[in-house]
C-alpha cells in the first residue's frame, strides 16, 4: 500500500469539516437565494449528505481500497483506469480552483502589489510539505486549525450582535422556489459534495465501518457553521450582502468595540489561509495518490512537488480574473461537477449492488 498511515473517525470528521469550510469560510454559498441563503445552505447540506451516503456506501464495501482501486474492480482495468484518470483530473482541477480563490482574495483585499506566482508557490510549498508527511500529519493539523477557525467565527458573530438586524432576514422564503432550489444545488456542489475527494482517504480509516457516520458528522458540523455565518452576514449587511464577493470579510469589518477592538477582519483572512491549506492539501494528496495508483508507482512522494507546481501553473492560467472565476464557479461548476460528485459514484454503487460483488476481506456483507 502506498500509504501506511491510519486516522480515527474523529480525525476524519474534523478534517472533512475543515475541507468543507475551505473557500466557503469567506465565499458563503447560497448567495442566489438572497436573505434566504441559510435555507439554501440547509437544503444543500441535505443533498450533500445524500451524495456522501453514495460514496461512503461504495468505498466502505471495499476495505483499505481507494476509489482508484475500486474502479478497476467494478468497471474492469481499461474502463476503470479511464474513470480513475477523470477523478484524478477533478481533484487536480479543483485544487487549482481553490488556489485561485486564495490568490484573488488576497490580491483584492490585502496585497494587491504581490505577484500571484509568489503567493501561490508559498502556499503550495506548505501544502506539499504536509502531504509529504502523510495523511496522519494532515489529520493532526486539522485538530488544531479547525477548532481555532470555528471559534473565531463564533466569537466574531458574538461581537456583531449589536449590528445584527433580524428584519434583514424577513420575509422568510421570499425567493421563488425555483431560484431557491438552484441555490441549494449550487451550495451542495460547492462545498458539500466536493467531499467526494475523501474517496481517497476513507481507505485509511482505522475502523472502516465508521466511515459513513464520520463523514456525516463532519458535513453537519461545517453546515451549521456556514448557516450561522450566512445568517450573520445577511442580518448585518442586509441587501448589500449580494454586492460583495467576500461578504464575511465585509461583515466582520463592522466590529467596533469602543474603538479598542477594530480591524479584526484579518482574522477572516487567517481563517481562509488555514482552511484553504487543509482543502488544497487534501486535494493535492488525492491527486498524487490517485496518479501513483493509476501509474502503479511505488510511492506518491516523488511526484508531490511536480504535481503541486503543475497545480499552481493551472491556477495561474485557467481563469484570467476574479470575474471569470466567479462566473465559472456560479454558472458552470454546479454542472461540471455532477459526473464526479454524483453520477460516477452512483453508477459504481449500482453495479456493485446488481453484481452482488464479493467484498474485500473485512468488508460489510
CA separation for the pair 158, 178 (Å, rounded): 33
Residue-level pLDDT at 255 = 86
pLDDT digits (tens, 9 = 90+) for 112-121: 888 999 999 9
- The C-alpha angle with vertex 227 and arms to 225 and 233, in degrees rounded to 5, equals 100
Task: State how far the alpha carbon of 263 is from the alpha carbons of 124, 249, 276, in Å.
Answer: 28, 10, 22
CB-based burial label for 214 (10 Å; 0-12, 13-18, 19+): buried
Q: In this structure, what C-alpha cell is assigned to residue 313? A: 501553473
User: With 80 as the cut, is the pLDDT of residue 263 above it?
Assistant: no
pTM of the predicted structure, to 2 decimals: 0.95
Q: In this structure, what C-alpha cell is assigned to residue 107? A: 490580491
DSSP symbol at 45? H
Q: At residue 7, what are phi and psi to the nearest 5 degrees?
A: -130, 155
CATH fold for domain 9-355: Amino acid/polyamine transporter I (1.20.1740)
Mean pLDDT of the chain: 93
Please state the domain extents for the chain. 9-355
CA separation for the pair 273, 99 (Å, rounded): 10
Task: State how far the alpha carbon of 60 is from the alpha carbons of 57, 187, 244, in Å.
Answer: 6, 26, 41
Residue-level pLDDT at 265 = 82
Residue-level pLDDT at 262 = 67
User: With 60 as the cut, is the pLDDT of residue 362 above it?
Assistant: no
What interhelical angle do 116-132 and 77-109 show, nearest 10?
130
pLDDT digits (tens, 9 = 90+) for 31-54: 999 999 999 999 999 999 999 999
Percent of all residues in the chain with a pLDDT value above 90, rounded to a whole number: 80
User: With 50 as the cut, is the pLDDT of residue 360 above it?
Assistant: no
Nearest CA to 24 among 286, 168, 226?
Answer: 226
Amino acid at each position: 500500500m502506498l500509504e501506511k498511515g491510519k486516522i480515527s473517525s474523529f480525525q476524519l470528521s474534523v478534517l472533512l469539516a475543515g475541507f468543507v469550510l475551505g473557500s466557503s469560510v469567506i465565499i458563503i454559498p447560497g448567495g442566489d437565494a438572497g436573505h434566504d441563503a441559510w435555507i439554501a445552505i440547509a437544503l444543500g447540506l441535505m443533498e450533500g449528505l445524500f451524495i456522501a451516503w453514495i460514496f461512503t456506501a461504495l468505498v466502505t464495501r471495499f476495505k483499505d481500497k481507494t476509489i482508484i482501486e475500486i474502479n478497476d474492480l467494478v468497471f474492469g482495468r481499461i474502463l476503470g483506469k479511464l474513470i480513475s484518470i477523470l477523478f484524478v483530473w477533478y481533484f487536480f482541477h479543483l485544487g487549482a480552483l481553490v488556489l485561485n480563490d486564495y490568490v484573488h482574495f488576497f490580491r483584492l483585499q490585502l496585497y494587491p502589489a504581490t505577484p500571484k506566482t509568489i503567493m501561490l508557490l508559498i502556499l503550495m510549498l506548505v501544502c506539499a510539505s504536509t502531504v509529504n508527511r502523510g495523511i496522519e500529519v494532515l489529520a493532526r493539523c486539522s485538530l488544531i486549525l479547525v477548532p481555532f477557525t470555528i471559534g473565531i467565527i463564533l466569537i466574531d458573530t458574538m461581537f456583531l450582535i449589536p449590528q445584527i438586524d433580524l428584519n434583514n432576514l424577513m420575509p422568510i422564503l421570499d425567493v421563488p422556489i425555483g431560484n431557491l432550489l438552484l441555490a441549494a444545488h449550487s451550495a451542495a456542489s460547492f462545498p458539500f459534495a466536493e467531499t467526494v475527494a475523501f474517496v481517497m482517504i476513507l481507505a485509511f480509516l482505522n475502523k472502516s465501518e465508521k466511515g459513513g457516520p464520520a463523514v456525516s458528522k463532519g458535513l453537519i458540523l461545517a453546515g451549521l457553521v456556514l448557516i450561522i455565518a450566512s445568517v450573520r452576514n445577511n442580518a448585518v449587511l442586509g441587501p448589500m450582502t449580494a454586492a460583495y464577493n467576500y461578504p464575511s470579510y465585509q461583515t466582520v469589518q463592522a466590529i467596533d468595540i469602543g474603538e479598542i477592538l477594530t480591524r479584526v477582519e484579518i482574522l477572516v483572512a487567517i481563517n481562509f489561509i488555514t482552511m484553504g491549506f487543509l482543502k488544497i492539501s487534501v486535494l493535492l494528496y488525492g491527486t498524487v495518490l490517485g496518479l501513483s495508483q493509476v501509474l502503479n508507482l511505488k510511492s506518491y512522494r516523488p511526484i508531490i512537488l511536480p504535481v503541486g507546481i503543475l497545480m499552481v501553473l493551472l491556477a495561474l492560467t485557467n481563469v484570467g480574473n476574479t470575474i471569470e472565476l466567479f462566473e465559472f464557479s456560479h454558472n458552470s461548476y454546479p454542472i461540471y461537477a455532477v459526473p464526479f460528485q454524483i453520477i460516477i459514484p452512483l453508477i459504481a454503487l449500482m453495479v456493485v449492488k446488481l453484481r452482488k460483488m464479493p467484498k474485500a476481506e473485512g468488508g460489510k456483507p
